[in-house]
Amino acid sequence: MSKLDNTFGQQTVSQDERSKKIRRVFQLVAPRYDLMNDFMSFGTHRIWKHFFVNYIPFKSSDVIVDLAGGTGDIARKLAKKGANVIVVDPSIEMMQEGEKSNTLQVTNVSAIGERLPFADDSIDKVTISFGIRNMTSMSDALTEIHRILKPGGQYYCLEFSRPMMPIRPFYNLYNQHVIPRLGAMVAGQPEAYQYLIESIKRFPHQEEMKSLIKDAGFSKVTYRNLFFGIACIHIGTNES
C-alpha cells in the first residue's frame, strides 16, 4: 500500500476510517456540490468536463461505467451522446441529487471503487471525473478498473494535477485560502472543502499518476494537460 492510499489530511488513519470520513464529506456537500464547483473553478470545470466527454470515443453498443459519478453530470453528457452509462458511487446522497435532474436513461449503483460489482472483462470503458483521489486505496481501485475492462477496453480519468510554472504559486494560494472560505459561504461546510483541497494537494503529479496506472496493468498510458496542467486527462488501455 502506498503512502497516498492511507493518508487523510495530516493524519495516518485506517482504510475503514478514511472511507467513512470521505463518505461523510460527500454527504455534507451533496446538496450544493455542483454549485460549489462552479464557484471554485469559475465555471471552468464545465469546460473541462465537456472536453473530457468529447475526448472519449465509444460505440453505441459500449457499456460505460462512470466511477465516482456522484450527481451524474458526466454520465448525463455521455448518455446524451448515445452511451449506455452506469453511475457507480458510494454516496447515495450524491446520486439522489443527480436523480432530480436525470431525464436520461442512466443507471445508478452504490459501490466503492475498490470493490466493483462487475464481472471480469465485462465493461468497455471506465470514466472517472475528479474522483480517483477520493478512493480509500487508489492502487486497489485502479486494479479493479483494469479487472472489469474488456481486452482493448479503456480507462479515462479527469483529475486535478500539478499546474505549470509560473501559475503554480497563485493556484496553491487560491486553493489554500479562497476555496475553504467559498465552501463556508456557499455550502456552509468549510471543513469538507478543506478535505477536498488537501486531497488535491496530495494527488500524484502527471508522471507519478502515469506510473501508478501502468503499475495496475494498463498499457498505452498517456495524459493530456488542460488549462496549463491544473487539470489532466489520463488514459490507459487493458491489453491483457
Distance separating alpha carbons of residues 224 and 210, to the nearest angstrom: 11
Q: What is the pLDDT of residue 23?
A: 66
DSSP conformation class of 154: E
Q: Tell me what pLDDT residue 172 has.
A: 83
For residue 229, the model assigns a pLDDT of 93
Are 229 and 165 within 8 A, CB to CB? Answer: no
Is residue 78 within 8 Å of 54, Cβ to Cβ? no
Parse the chain into domains and list their residue ranges. 3-237
Helix intervals (H) in 149-215: 168-173, 179-182, 190-202, 206-215
Pick from 113, 61, 67: which is nearest to 86 by CA? 67
Selection from 208, 15, 22, 202 nearest residue 6 by Cα: 15
User: 106-160, pLDDT tens digit by residue?
Assistant: 899 999 999 999 999 999 999 999 989 888 899 999 999 999 999 999 999 999 8
Mean pLDDT score, 152-170 = 92
The model's confidence at residue 36, banded by pLDDT at 50, 70 and 90, is low
In this predicted structure, the answer to whether residue 4 has a pLDDT above a threshold of 60 is no
- pTM for the full predicted model: 0.83
The Cα angle at residue 56 between residues 200 and 155, in degrees rounded to 5: 60
From CA 16, how far away is CA 36, in angstroms rounded?
A: 27
Q: What is the pLDDT of residue 5?
A: 40
Show the CA angle centred on residue 10, arms to residues 31 and 21, nearest 5°.
Answer: 35
Domain 3-237, CATH class in plain words: alpha beta
